[in-house]
């Protein structure tokens, strides 16, 4: 997009501030805001200096200067600021090399797309994530030396059925594991989700649908698929919109995979397909109408799944979802229309709809890293013709046969597998040793913090021993 187009939006929308955004290693949006008068063509061309030493897992204080390089194609008018603000997503540049910073997630996504093109497998790769989330009325938590607390309140939860409410207890609530696609008044979050779709459209995302998910207070919004980097940008917008629309209703939204004990957790099922111009390369004459290329791609995902978990399921909480019994796809198998397999082949009447759905990721994932890692695993499967084995038609949510390999059981296991199985990620310098080691260090610190903190369950089990 040209500087002229940028100026036109600024003038037409009476913009007062320009907000420059980037994503850190763990997937959080960071930003710096300039007055519109300070943003000229030279600034947009040369980039914005900032202190990289304060970003978790990035630079030390003695080498802290970094550059934000705005991508004007990503512009959107922020729907939540009181004064007119134009937000622009940026790449991060290392001023010492004038190249993409090796730990910048968005730059890694762009390198993954370039590596895909260089592989000559196809010229288009699409990602379509389905993010689930919870909406609550009040959340209180604390973890300190002498205080450990989690208290979640939601008037639409089953445990509010006997609660005395000033305006009256309306009584219509879903039961645990019984909220999927329920209608109003049991689904009390319909209007919030509808507004979320309207706002998604305003920031440049094509919204598709919304519905209540399986657990009480659990929701899903659907959006159109896109290319890898653009889709990851959209995930960041999606989370931003969900958090802020919920906030405007006096509620709070979370993408934690497992905030509620004993009920379903939130996943981020990721649809993926490869094309050559207008030809869908995942369509063919093999199982479920798939091509051999697609089966090899599946083989790569299955082979590297335990290492992929470090990026697709990057929180300690992720593995409280990835347990049998809660519709969590822990078995590494593939199947047509079978949601118990970790890779599902959605039904489609046309070749254009042929794709795979990887079901084990969750929405704590940094989308740039998770999508890139899955693409690299799929490419490795195609290049090395990795056989995914036979498909399964049986329900394997509770599989105890040992017939199928499983995803990592903990973040520790995922990181250990990433250390031992990362060569496929480093092809084309997409991921680097520097980035992988820095990422592992961040995640190990998270593991250590949880491991060294007394847990309320431990008090329940051991206090009176």
Task: Point out the catalytic residue in the list 190, 243, 339, 427.
Answer: 339
Catalytic option among 21, 269, 304, 355: 269
The reply to whether 413 belongs to the active site is: no
Q: Is 271 annotated as a binding residue?
A: yes
458 carries a ligand binding annotation:
no
Q: Give me the torsion for CA of 46, 50, 55, 60, rounded to 10°.
A: 100
Residue 103 bears catalytic tag: no
Catalytic residue among 233, 357, 362, 380: 357
State yes or no: 321 annotated in a binding site: yes
Q: Is 132 annotated as a binding residue?
A: yes
Residue 357 among known ligand-binding residues: yes
| Residue 355 known to be catalytic | no
Measured distance CA(295)–CA(107) in Å, rounded? 28
- Which of the residues 113, 132, 187, 380 is marked catalytic? 132
In the three-class reduction of DSSP (H, G, I as helix; E, B as strand; rest coil), residue 420 is classed as helix
CA distance 373 to 226: 17
CB 377 within 8 A of CB 303: yes
Residue from 212, 359, 362, 380 carrying the catalytic annotation: 359
List the alpha helices (DSSP H) in 152-291: 190-202, 228-248
Q: 132 catalytic, yes or no?
A: yes
444 known ligand binder: no
Q: What region does 222 belong to: left with phi over 0, alpha with psi -120 to 50, or beta?
A: beta
427 appears as a binding residue in the annotation: no
Q: Which residues contact 451 (CB under 8 A, 6 or more apart)?
A: none
- Provide the 8-state DSSP code for 288: G
Catalytic residue list contains 16: no
Q: Which of 130, 187, 263, 380 does the annotation list as catalytic?
A: 130
* 3-state class (DSSP) for residue 201: helix
- Exposed, middle or buried by CB within 10 Å (0-12, 13-18, 19+), for 112? buried
- Does 327 belong to an annotated binding site? yes
Q: Is 220 a catalytic residue?
A: yes
The reply, when asked if residue 212 is annotated as ligand binding, is no
Q: Is 220 annotated as a binding residue?
A: yes
Residue 272 known to bind ligand:
yes
- Say if residue 273 carries a ligand binding annotation: yes
Can you read off the two tokens belonging to residue 380? 């490795």
Please pick, among 213, 263, 362, 380, the residue that the annotation labels catalytic: 213
Closest C-alpha to 271, from 252, 288, 294: 294
Nearest Cα residue to 315 out of 271, 272, 265: 265
Q: Confirm or deny that 318 is annotated as ligand binding.
A: no
Catalytic residue among 40, 46, 51, 449: 51
> Per the residue annotation, which of 78, 220, 263, 380 is the catalytic one?
220
Tell me phi and psi for residue 283, to 5 degrees.
-90, 140
Residues recognised as catalytic: 51, 130, 132, 213, 220, 269, 339, 357, 359
Annotated binding site for L-glutamate: 264-265, 321, 327, 339, 359
Annotated binding site: 130, 132, 213, 220, 264-265, 269, 271-273, 321, 327, 339, 357, 359
Annotated binding site for Mg(2+): 130, 132, 213, 220, 269, 357
Annotated binding site for ATP: 271-273, 339
């Amino acid at each position: 997009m040209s500087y002229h187009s940028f100026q036109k939006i600024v003038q037409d929308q009476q913009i007062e501030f320009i907000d420059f955004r980037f994503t850190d290693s763990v997937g959080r949006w960071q930003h710096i805001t300039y007055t519109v008068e300070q943003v000229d063509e030279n600034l947009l061309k040369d980039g914005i200096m900032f202190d990289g030493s304060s970003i978790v897992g990035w630079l030390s204080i003695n080498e802290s200067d970094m550059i934000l390089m705005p991508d004007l194609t990503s512009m959107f008018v922020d729907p939540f600021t009181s004064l007119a603000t134009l937000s622009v997503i940026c790449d991060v540049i290392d001023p010492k090399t004038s190249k993409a910073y090796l730990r910048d997630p968005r730059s890694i996504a762009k390198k993954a797309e370039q590596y895909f093109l260089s592989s000559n497998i196809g010229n288009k790769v699409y990602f379509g994530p389905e993010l689930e989330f919870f909406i609550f009325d009040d959340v209180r938590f604390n973890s300190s030396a002498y205080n450990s607390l989690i208290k979640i309140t939601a008037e639409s939860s089953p445990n509010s059925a006997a609660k005395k409410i000033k305006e009256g207890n309306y009584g219509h609530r879903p039961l645990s594991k019984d909220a999927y696609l329920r209608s109003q008044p049991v689904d009390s979050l319909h209007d919030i989700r509808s507004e979320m779709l309207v706002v998604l459209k305003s920031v440049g995302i094509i919204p598709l649908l919304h519905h209540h998910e399986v657990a009480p207070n659990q929701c899903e919004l659907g959006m159109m698929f896109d290319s890898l980097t653009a889709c990851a940008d959209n995930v960041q917008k999606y989370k931003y919109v969900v958090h802020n629309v919920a906030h405007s209703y006096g509620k709070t939204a979370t993408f934690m995979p497992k905030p509620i004990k004993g009920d379903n957790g939130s996943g981020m099922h990721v649809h993926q397909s490869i094309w050559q111009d207008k030809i869908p390369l995942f369509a063919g004459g093999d199982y479920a109408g798939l091509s051999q290329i697609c089966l090899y791609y599946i083989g790569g995902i299955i082979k590297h799944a335990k290492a992929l978990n470090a990026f697709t399921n990057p929180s300690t909480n992720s593995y409280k979802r990835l347990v049998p019994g809660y519709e969590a796809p822990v078995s590494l198998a593939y199947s047509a229309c079978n949601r118990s397999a970790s890779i599902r082949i959605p039904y489609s009447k046309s070749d254009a709809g042929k794709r795979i759905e990887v079901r084990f990721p969750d929405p704590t994932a940094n989308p740039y890293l998770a999508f890139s890692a899955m693409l690299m695993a799929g490419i490795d499967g195609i290049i090395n013709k990795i056989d995914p084995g036979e498909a399964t038609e049986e329900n394997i949510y509770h599989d105890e046969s040992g017939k199928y390999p499983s995803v990592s059981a903990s973040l520790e296991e995922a990181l250990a597998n990433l250390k031992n199985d990362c060569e496929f990620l480093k092809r084309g310098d997409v991921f680097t040793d520097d980035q992988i080691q820095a990422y592992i260090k961040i995640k190990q610190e998270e593991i250590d913090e949880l491991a060294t903190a007394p847990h309320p369950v431990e008090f329940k089990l051991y206090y009176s021993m």
